């Protein structure tokens, strides 16, 4: 397991210049916009999951998977290492980007720190849920096919989210106080998202393990 993680970190290090250039776009936006901290944190987190999941594609180059499977590593360990890398990298990037966002808030004074924390937490949980879909797709399909499928899934998610928001707005206008009678607080929503994420994670890991077991190298 440790060897697999070290291998993936080396792959990320090799392409570090390209990844830093992508992150630089977010930093430029953060500096240019006084209230750009929320966007920057979300941007950095979503870029991080693309970076970590991208290591699966690199493993497939030049029959790399065939070589990996000759090592004392099981398919299950390979899957687990990908989840550990992806979730760990997302958390690390979220902490770093959050610190930079907090510094920007202190300088500009245009945004509340609490709002940024809530936004960062939400972005992290949502990115982890997306990860639960990206990893099995990357394992099952080649890079191009999985990318097309994942784009379609993300589009559907955004469309559903937009539709839900519109329905909620209509409900509020029609019934005055809307859903306030449910007395749903912010922490309850957060707990709900975390529960959804954990369920998605459990299903995703099992699906990925099953996909890998069926593969022949």
What is the number of residues in the chain?
A: 217
Angle (nearest 5°) at CA 87 between 86 and 90: 85
pLDDT at 21: 85
pLDDT bracket for residue 48 (50, 70, 90): confident
**Spatial separation of the C-alpha atoms in residues 151 and 90, rounded to whole Å:** 19
Asked whether the CA dihedral 64, 71, 88, 30 is positive or negative, the reply is: negative
**Within a 10 A sphere around the Cβ of 52, how many other Cβ atoms?**
25
Q: Look at residue 79 in the predicted model and tell me its pLDDT.
A: 92
Select the more confidently predicted residue: 202 or 58: 202
Q: Say how many C-beta atoms besides its own lie within 10 A of residue 68's C-beta.
A: 17
**150: containing domain:** 2-214
CB burial of residue 75 (10 Å; 0-12, 13-18, 19+): buried
- How many domains are contained in the chain? 1
| DSSP code per residue over 59-115 | HHGGGHHHHHTTSS--HHHHHHHHHHHHHHHHHHHHHHHHHHHHHHHHHH--S-HHH
The C-alpha atoms of residue 38 and residue 101 are separated, in whole angstroms, by 7
The answer, yes or no, to whether residue 112 has pLDDT greater than 80, is no
Q: Quick one: CA dihedral 131, 136, 137, 139, positive or negative?
A: positive
pLDDT score of 202: 94
**Of 2-6, 59-63, 66-70, 130-134, which gets the smallest average pLDDT?**
59-63
pTM: 0.77
- For residue 58, count CB atoms less than 10 angstroms from its CB and return exposed for 0-12, middle for 13-18, buried for 19 or more: middle
Measured CA to CA, the distance from residue 211 to residue 208 in angstroms comes to: 5
- List Cβ neighbours of 117 (8 Å cut-off, separation of 6 or more): 98
Q: Is the pLDDT of residue 192 over 50?
A: yes
Alpha helical stretches, state H, 109-142: 113-140
More confident residue, 71 or 174: 71
């Amino acid at each position: 397991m440790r060897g697999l993680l070290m291998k993936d970190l080396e792959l990320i290090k090799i392409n570090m210049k390209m990844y830093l250039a992508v992150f630089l776009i977010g930093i430029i936006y953060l500096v240019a916009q006084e209230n750009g901290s929320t966007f920057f944190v979300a941007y950095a987190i979503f870029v991080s999951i693309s970076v970590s999941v991208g290591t699966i594609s690199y493993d497939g180059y030049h029959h790399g998977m065939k070589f990996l499977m000759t090592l004392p590593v099981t398919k299950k360990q390979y899957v687990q290492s990908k989840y550990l890398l992806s979730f760990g990298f997302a958390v690390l990037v979220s902490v770093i980007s959050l610190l930079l966002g907090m510094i920007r808030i202190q300088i500009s004074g245009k945004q509340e720190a609490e709002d940024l924390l809530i936004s960062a937490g939400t972005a992290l949980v949502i990115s982890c849920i997306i990860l639960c879909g990206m990893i099995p797709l990357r394992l099952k399909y080649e890079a191009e096919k999985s990318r097309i499928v994942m784009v379609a899934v993300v589009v559907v998610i955004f469309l559903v989210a937009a539709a839900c928001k519109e329905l909620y707005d209509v409900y509020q206008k029609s019934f005055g106080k809307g859903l306030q009678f449910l007395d749903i607080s912010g922490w309850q929503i957060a707990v709900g998202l975390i529960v959804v994420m954990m369920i998605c994670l459990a299903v995703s890991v099992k699906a990925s393990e099953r996909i890998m077991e069926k593969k022949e190298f």
